[in-house]
Amino acid sequence: MSYSLQTSGQRVGLGSLVAVIACGSLVMSACAGRVAQPASNAPASGSKANKESSAVVEMKPATSAGSGGARPRGRPADSSSSGASRSTRRGEKRDNPTVARGAELFGKYCAICHGEKGDGAGKFAYLMNPRPRNFRQGDFKLSTTRNQIPTDDDLVRAIGRGMPGSAMPPWDHLPPTDLAALAKRVRQFHVEGTEAKLQEWVKEGSMAQEQVAKALRERTEPDEPLMVPPEPPFGEIRWFRGRRLYLENCASCHGADGNPVPEEVKFDAEGYPVPPRSFVNGIFKGGSDGHHLYARILKGMRGTPMPASEGVYTGHELWDVIHYVQSLARVGAQERAQLRQGTFVAPNVRGPLPDGPMDEAWEQARPLYVGLTPLWWTENRIEGLVVQALHNNEDLTIRLSWIDPTVDDRAVRHDEFRDGVAIQFSLSSDPPFYMGDTGEHGGVNIWYWKADRQKDIAAGYQDVDAAFPDRAVDMYPEQHVSAAASSAGEWPRARITQFDPQFITSWGAGNLVADPTLDTPVECLVARGPGTLSGKPANVQRVKGQAIYERGVWYVQLTRSMALAHEHEHGDDDERAFGLGDYLPVSFAIWNGSAGDRDGKKNISIWQKLVIE
């Protein structure tokens, strides 16, 4: 589908088209945009929009020459221009190949968060804030239409780009046909949920059955595209006017300086807390380009406390506010928050591998920056890490480094949480979103380095003795104490390794987390879907690790043999073996102890590719 720039009374010249594309005003699809004649339903020359500007950018798909001109509001003339075909809006048959493909993709990639029914109640939803979208409820935040019901292209753009500022990852690595199929599946959930609600009203007697079809169209069909005035040049006077308008209308929630007011946390349509967006941090879920900010400020964001501003600003005033908000943002923040897939290579080096994360041999490995997003959104997050890899035909070693202003290397007290980093290797070439699945090759193998385990090895096991050195304790027989020592007036305190494990039940039961005798700060774990994570037995914990914290940066090196050890390779296919020429998916997670990260509260990446040279 091609998109046109609709203007009030003139064609847009090539220079203007380039300028508009540069500021991100077009709703881009796989086809190139083109310039078209004014729409037959463009505002009259005396309209408010034309008084402010002679050209208006309309987020509108181009109609065919025989479309019949203007069409009724909310009733697109044909499927090519409406963003959703009639059969899609009314619920397409499930044997339709596109719908069937969308359902398959949704089950593999999306249901873990959004739920099998599209109701936002997936198995990982409890870990996330903002919560995954309930498609059946239909409160879509990002749209370019007058009634805020997204077109198929709006949905494809949101799915492909993801939503920076939330746990929603981008899926633009999927083919365009798959993105379109997912968009149809999402719209189908909306139609099904809306129709179910309308039928409830029929049963209650508050709506007649013959009204359902019209009400369903009104609630699920995209309306006409928004008309957005062209972006004016930015200057000091406009900045001044924008700041005045911002202080009058926005600062009560978003703060006078762009940092949100903590007391102004409100709640969304489902009752979950929604803090105001920080403009200083500069991350916008729908992107920071001016024309999409214009649409969100003008129409508000459905299902959230963000109100509409129609009638509050003129077109020029709204642009002044947008330019001021953009001026508050940290340079590059939006770009860094946009998750992307990348590839890093493990070169084959002669001789021994680096003996530590600061070894000069790491200069042989080309680094890759990997962006991260917290599942539970917080401004105190780890934005990304740098990964490098090397191998020598026998061992594979990987170095991870990231900025962290604090060292959190103990997790004994109730308010202490460790720093950590993990690599997730997929056993499949096409893995689901996270943590694997129950398919034949759906497992994942995880290497998890923990800062407190590193300290346990370097400085002795950090138990309650370290956290509470002056505590009072009773005498129990689990400590191995000589008869002479036991007859002394004061019971001697010993390291935990001198205790009998059967009295320290978690250690005695073989729990790796409580084992003070392990000689590696890395846990090797496996999983086949949510709720299946488990550690390998202590005797097959083969991943070695070491870390250095220097000038605000963690450097962690993880190493394991490329082949699996003979004694645990037979009948054990849940770990990843590595071979020359492998091209395999890997992803990363970081726990920031100072932010209270633990378990599922963490910063994650999307899948990257590792090539073993």
Looking at the structure, do residues 305 and 442 belong to the same domain, yes or no? no
Q: For 274, what's the count of Cα atoms within 13 Å in the CB-facing half-sphere?
A: 19
| pTM higher than the cut 0.85 | no
Average pLDDT over residues 320-336: 93
pLDDT for the residue numbered 78 = 35
Q: Considering its fold, how many domains does the chain have in total? A: 4
Domain membership flag for residue 474: no
Mean pLDDT of the chain: 83
Looking at the structure, do residues 48 and 109 belong to the same domain, yes or no? no
Task: Give the closest residue to 387 by CA, choosing from 409, 404, 362.
Answer: 362
Share of the chain above pLDDT 70, in %: 80
pLDDT for the residue numbered 572 = 58
Q: What residues contact residue 605 under an 8 Å CB cut-off, 6+ apart?
A: 339, 370, 371, 372, 373, 385, 587, 588, 589
pLDDT for the residue numbered 32 = 33
Does residue 60 register a pLDDT over 90?
A: no
Please state the φ and ψ torsions of residue 396, each to the nearest 5 degrees.
-110, 130
Task: Give the closest residue to 192 by CA, choosing from 122, 132, 299, 116.
Answer: 116
Looking at the structure, do residues 102 and 119 belong to the same domain, yes or no? yes
Measured distance CA(156)–CA(150) in Å, rounded: 10
Domain membership flag for residue 480: no
pLDDT for the residue numbered 92 = 59
Looking at the structure, do residues 543 and 412 belong to the same domain, yes or no? yes
E strand or H helix at 220: helix 212-220
Average pLDDT over residues 383-405: 97
Q: Which residue has the tokens 């991870």?
A: 400
Measured distance CA(352)–CA(58) in Å, rounded: 62
Task: Give the closest residue to 295 by CA, choosing from 347, 228, 344.
Answer: 228
Answer yes or no: are the C-beta atoms of 565 and 336 closer than 8 Å: no
Does residue 26 register a pLDDT over 70?
A: no
pLDDT for the residue numbered 506 = 86
Looking at the structure, do residues 512 and 599 belong to the same domain, yes or no? yes
Domain membership flag for residue 79: no
Measured distance CA(31)–CA(71) in Å, rounded: 24
Q: Is 451 helix (H, G, I), strand (E, B) or coil?
A: helix
- pLDDT tens for residues 163-179? 999 999 999 999 999 99
Share of the chain above pLDDT 90, in %: 63
- pLDDT tens for residues 538-556? 888 999 999 999 999 999 9
Looking at the structure, do residues 331 and 347 belong to the same domain, yes or no? no
pLDDT for the residue numbered 10 = 36
Rg (CA), the chain: 29
Examine residue 130 and say whether the peptide bond preceding it is cis (omega within 30 degrees of 0).
yes
Average pLDDT over residues 524-532: 92
Looking at the structure, do residues 445 and 591 belong to the same domain, yes or no? yes
Domain membership flag for residue 68: yes
Domain membership flag for residue 475: no
Domain membership flag for residue 489: no
Choose the weakest-confidence range: 2-16, 206-220, 372-386: 2-16
Domain boundary among 336, 361, 378: 336
Domain boundary among 173, 203, 220: 220
Angle at 358 between CA 352 and CA 360, to 5 degrees: 55
Confidence of residue 474 (pLDDT cuts 50, 70, 90): low
Average pLDDT over residues 170-194: 96
Q: Which residue has the tokens 């102890």?
A: 593
Answer yes or no: are the C-beta atoms of 230 and 20 closer than 8 Å: yes
Residue 167: CATH number of its domain: 1.10.760.10
Average pLDDT over residues 138-159: 95
Measured distance CA(407)–CA(223) in Å, rounded: 53
The torsion of the CA quartet 153, 108, 444, 161, rounded to 10 degrees, works out to 10
Looking at the structure, do residues 421 and 520 belong to the same domain, yes or no? yes
Looking at the structure, do residues 396 and 545 belong to the same domain, yes or no? yes
pLDDT for the residue numbered 508 = 86
Task: Give the closest residue to 375 by CA, choosing from 596, 609, 143, 585.
Answer: 596
pLDDT for the residue numbered 30 = 33
Domain membership flag for residue 81: no
Does residue 63 register a pLDDT over 70?
A: no
Does residue 491 register a pLDDT over 70?
A: no
Does residue 23 register a pLDDT over 70?
A: no
pLDDT for the residue numbered 374 = 95
pLDDT for the residue numbered 386 = 98
Measured distance CA(231)–CA(24) in Å, rounded: 10
Average pLDDT over residues 583-599: 96
Looking at the structure, do residues 315 and 352 belong to the same domain, yes or no? no
- Classify burial at 522, counting beta carbons within 10 Å of its beta carbon; exposed 0-12, middle 13-18, buried 19 or more: buried
Looking at the structure, do residues 212 and 233 belong to the same domain, yes or no? no
Alpha helix (H) residue ranges in 66-175: 79-82, 86-89, 97-105, 111-114, 152-161
Residues composing the chain: 613
Confidence of residue 466 (pLDDT cuts 50, 70, 90): confident
Please state the φ and ψ torsions of residue 475, each to the nearest 5 degrees.
-95, 125
Does residue 531 register a pLDDT over 70?
A: yes
Average pLDDT over residues 19-43: 33
Angle at 110 between CA 439 and CA 134, to 5 degrees: 140
Q: For every residue of 488-523, which 3-state class applies, written as one string?
A: CCCCCCCCHHHECHHHCHHHHCCCHHHCCCCCCCEE
Answer yes or no: are the C-beta atoms of 400 and 558 closer than 8 Å: yes
Average pLDDT over residues 15-20: 34
Average pLDDT over residues 299-326: 94
Average pLDDT over residues 22-49: 34
Which residues form the domain of 279? 226-336
Domain membership flag for residue 189: yes
Pick the residue with more confidence: 39 or 108? 108
Choose the weakest-confidence range: 42-56, 162-176, 423-437, 460-474: 42-56
Domain boundary among 43, 72, 101: 72
- pLDDT tens for residues 65-96? 333 333 333 333 333 334 444 434 455 565 68
Looking at the structure, do residues 595 and 458 belong to the same domain, yes or no? yes
pLDDT for the residue numbered 150 = 96
Answer yes or no: are the C-beta atoms of 371 and 605 closer than 8 Å: yes
Pairing of strands 343-346, 608-612: parallel
pLDDT for the residue numbered 511 = 86
Pick the residue with more confidence: 8 or 516? 516
pLDDT for the residue numbered 71 = 33
Confidence of residue 570 (pLDDT cuts 50, 70, 90): very low
